Amino acid sequence: MHSPSLLTTLLILLIGLGAARLMAGKLAGLAVPAIVVELLIGFGLGNTLLPYQAIAPLSGLTELGVLALFFQVGLEVRGDLLSSRRGTILRLLGLSVLGPLMGYWPLVLGLGMAPATAVLCLACVAATGTGVTLRLLAQREALQTPTGRLLVGVSVLDDLPAIALLSLAVALGGRNLSGGSGGWLGPVLGITAALLSDRVARWWRRQGRAEPSSPLAVLMLLVCSAWVGEVSGVTSLLGALWGGVLLNRLSDRPPQVGGLLMLISEVFLPLYFISVGMRIQAGTLLDAQAWGLSLILLALAIVSKLICGLGISECDQRNGVDRWAVIFGLIPRGLPGLVFATTALNAGVINAPQFSALVLMVTVTTVVGLLLLERRLLLAPSDVEAPTRNHQPG
C-alpha cells in the first residue's frame, strides 16, 4: 500500500482531531473524557485510512505533549504538597503502591509473564490519571474542598512510584537505543546525571543567577532532560519530570512557564492519544488472551484503589474528607496508564495483545472512575461546604 504524503497525513490527523473535539464536547455531560474519544478516533483511523506506520516518523513530536505534562508534574513536586494531611497522603501513597504489587506473583506464576512485563502491568495499575480527575474536580468546584485538596496531593505524588516501576520494567526487559538489552549500567548513569545536575542547580541558585525563563531555554531543558532519561534507560518520562524538578530548584518562586507548557500540551497531547489508538490492532481485540488479561488487570486496578480507602481515618472524615470520593478519584488511570503502555511497547517489554489489554483497562477505569466520582460529588454537597464550616469561629 502506497504511504500517504506528509501533508496528507497531517490533514487526516487534523480532521480526526477536529472530529474528536466535536464528539468530546457533546459527550462531556456524560463525564466521558476527551482521551477516550481520541483513542476511538485513532483506532478507527489506524485500522482504515492511516496505519500507524505512516505517522511513526512523527511519533517524537506527538510525545512532546506528554513530556510537557510530566515536566509540569516535576514543577509541582514541592514540599508544600505534604503540608496538609501529611500522614493521610503518605498512607494513601503506601497503599496505592502495595496494593498492585500483590498481583506480581499471580501474573508471573499464573499467567507465565516475564518479570519485566509483570512489573510494567503493575506500573499501569498503580498509576493515577491526575489530569482527568483534577479537571472534573475543578468543573464541579470541589478542588478546594478537603477531599479535593487531598486528591491533589495524592494524585501528583502517586505517579512517582509508578514511574519508578516503569523504569524498572524497561531496565529489566527493554531495549536501549542501540537495540540491545537495557541492563543496569544505563540507569546507574542516569541516576549519576541526576545527582550531578542537582548539584549544578544548587550552585546556580547560590550564585544568584536568573533561572531559565525564555521559551527556548525551557524547551531545551525539557528535551535534554527527557533525552538523558531515554538514553540511560530510565525512560524519557522520568527524565522530563526531573527536568521540571531542576527548573523549580533554580528559583525561590514558582517558574512562570505554565503558558508554554499549556500550549505544547494543547497542540500535541490530543495527537498523542490519537496515535495510541492507531497502535491498537483490530485483530488483537478478537484475541481471548487480550480480553482475559484486561479483565484480570481491571479487577486488580479496582481492588487496589478500594484498599486505599483504608488510609482515610475517622478523623479525616470528621474534617470533611469523603472516603468514597477519594477512592473514585484514584480509579482513573488516564494519561499515565496510556503513556506507560506505549513506552513499554516501544521498548519491547510487552506485545500487541498485552498493549491492547492495558489500553482497555485504562479506558474502562477512566470512564467508570469519572462517572462514579461525578455522581458522588453531586450526592455529597456537604463536602463542598465543609471548608466554610471548618473556618467559622467556634
Looking from the CA of 91 toward its CB, the CA atoms found within 13 Å total 14
Spatial distance between the Cα atoms of 68 and 176, rounded to a whole number of angstroms: 22
β-strand partners of 175: 181
Report which DSSP code applies to 63: T
Q: Are 272 and 63 in contact (CB under 8 A)?
A: yes
Indicate the range of 218-232, 257-271, 332-346 predicted with least confidence.
257-271
Q: Are 316 and 85 in contact (CB under 8 A)?
A: yes
Task: Supply the pLDDT for residue 119.
Answer: 92
C-alpha cell at 199: 548539584
Q: Return all residues near 226 (Cβ < 8 A) that are at least 6 apart.
A: 67, 236, 237, 239, 240, 243
- Going from the C-alpha of 250 to that of each of 74, 190, 205, 216, 263, the distances in angstroms are 13, 20, 5, 16, 23
Each residue of 307-341: pLDDT tens digit? 998 999 899 888 889 999 999 999 998 778 888 88
Residue 326: closest CA among 153, 72, 83: 153
Phi, psi of 85 (to 5 degrees): 55, 50
User: What is the number of other CB atoms lying within 10 angstroms of the CB of residue 384?
Assistant: 18
Each residue of 374-390: pLDDT tens digit? 888 887 554 444 444 44
Residue 170: closest CA among 311, 345, 18: 345
Spatial distance between the Cα atoms of 334 and 30, rounded to a whole number of angstroms: 16
CATH level 2 (architecture), domain 58-384: Up-down Bundle (1.20)
Q: Return all residues near 58 (Cβ < 8 A) that are at least 6 apart.
A: 9
Let me know if 135 is exposed, middle or buried by CB neighbors in 10 A (0-12, 13-18, 19+). Answer: middle
Spatial distance between the Cα atoms of 70 and 66, rounded to a whole number of angstroms: 6
Spatial distance between the Cα atoms of 335 and 185, rounded to a whole number of angstroms: 29
Each residue of 266-308: pLDDT tens digit? 778 888 888 888 888 888 888 888 899 999 999 999 999 999 9
The residue ranges of every structural domain in the chain are 58-384
Start-to-end CA distance of the chain, whole Å, equals: 75
Each residue of 329-377: pLDDT tens digit? 999 987 788 888 888 888 889 999 999 999 999 999 988 998 898 888 8
> What is the four-CA torsion angle of 218, 219, 221, 225, rounded to 10 degrees?
140
C-alpha cell at 157: 505524588
Distance of CA 251 to the CA centre of its chain: 26
Q: Are 320 and 85 in contact (CB under 8 A)?
A: no
Mean of pLDDT values over 40-44: 90
- Which residue reads 532532560 in cell numbers? 225
- Going from the C-alpha of 374 to that of each of 161, 380, 382, the distances in angstroms are 27, 10, 14
What is the CA angle 220-347-337, rounded to 5? 80
Mean of pLDDT values over 217-242: 82
User: Coil, strand, or helix at residue 12?
Assistant: helix
Q: Are 390 and 160 in contact (CB under 8 A)?
A: no
Flag whether pLDDT at 66 surpasses 60.
yes
User: What is the number of other CB atoms lying within 10 angstroms of the CB of residue 254?
Assistant: 12
- Provide the residue type at 216 as one letter: L
Phi, psi of 181 (to 5 degrees): -75, 145
Let me know if 376 is exposed, middle or buried by CB neighbors in 10 A (0-12, 13-18, 19+). Answer: buried
Average pLDDT score, the chain: 80
Spatial distance between the Cα atoms of 308 and 66, rounded to a whole number of angstroms: 27
pLDDT band at 31 (very low <50, low <70, confident <90, very high): low
User: Coil, strand, or helix at residue 175?
Assistant: strand
Mean of pLDDT values over 204-232: 80
